[in-house]
Amino acid sequence: MPNTPAPVQSDSVALIAPRDKAEILAQALPYIRKFHGKTIVIKYGGNAMTDPELQADFAEDVVLLKLVGLNPVVVHGGGPQIDAALNKVGKKGHFIQGMRVTDDETMEVVEWVLAGEVQQDIVGLINAAGGKAVGLTGRDGGLIRARKLKLKDLKDPSLEHDVGQVGEIESIDPSVVKALQDDQFIPVISPIGFGSKNESYNINADLVASKLAEVLKAEKLMLLTNIKGVLDKEGNLLTDLTARRIDELIADGTISGGMIPKIAGALDAAKSGVNAVHIVDGRVPHAMLLEILTESAYGTMIRSH
């Protein structure tokens, strides 16, 4: 078992009485027992990915989940980092219906940012926290086969927008991920797929995480975001929803705009056998760990039924 560094005690942690700490750990035990050996797919993005303290919290959470017998698999985004890299080469990001238009030059930047800088940062953070992380792209072990996305116009479905090397998932072969899990490694996956002519495709990380959760028959899919979760029309957090209720909330306009594509992948995963999908507020320290191992709600859980 890897050696974990001694935890850094913040003032808030130091103030918790030993008895209360023991109570917190005891509460986690039934969840550890319930989820032991199960796969948890985590989409890592938003503030949790750019704030140094939240980055360290995330890495510790992933390592702890692995150490107590769960099998975390991390899929990461990197939109802000891609924008920053494009600015450096004098290129401005262009979007159609929320999709980044990805020409050849942009695709090169996407690959070196996601599969290089961002992925290696995450791998390094997890390893520094005492884990054994390994970086993958969709090319490794034939993991993600993709084809060019045909983006239909929202107002006129007969029109199609060309968004370049943006892909949709054709198939996922999870054998390389399973092999790493069996050897006690934590896979960290960049959302880049490959096509039939060996071309690269930039794929939405939420969709990759959702599809991977389906294929791996994951117990849970965790989507770390910059929002509290799904809110009702009064702005209150809805902590527990069924797939059917989500359909109703989209139909009546409660869920709208940019939230729809994020929910769409989660909904597909819930309907395809993933027991629970959590949309978690990544701005809360250790929110993912608290959501999995306690009764506290730090986001919205979508159940398959």
Determine how many CB atoms are found less than 10 A away from the CB of residue 112: 13
Amino acid sitting at position 199: E
Quote the tokens at residue 34: 């319930």
Determine how many CB atoms are found less than 10 A away from the CB of residue 224: 29
Q: Can you give the three-state secondary structure of the chain, one letter per residue?
A: CCCCCCCCCCHHHHCCCHHHHHHHHHHHHHHHHHHCCCEEEEEECCHHHHCHHHHHHHHHHHHHHHHCCCEEEEEECCHHHHHHHHHHCCCCCCEECCEECECHHHHHHHHHHHHHHHHHHHHHHHHHCCCCEEEECCCHHHCEEEEECCEECCCCCCCEECCECEEEEEEECCHHHHHHHHCCCEEEECCEEECCCCCEEECCHHHHHHHHHHHCCCCEEEEEECCCCCECCCCCECCEEEHHHHHHHHHCCCCCCCHHHHHHHHHHHHHCCCCEEEEEECCCCCHHHHHHHCCCCCEEEEECC
100 is in an annotated binding site: yes
- Alpha-carbon gap, residue 259 to 265, rounded angstroms: 11
193 is in an annotated binding site: no
- Alpha-carbon gap, residue 266 to 274, rounded angstroms: 9
In the annotated binding site, the residues are 78-79, 100, 202
In the annotated binding site for substrate, the residues are 78-79, 100, 202
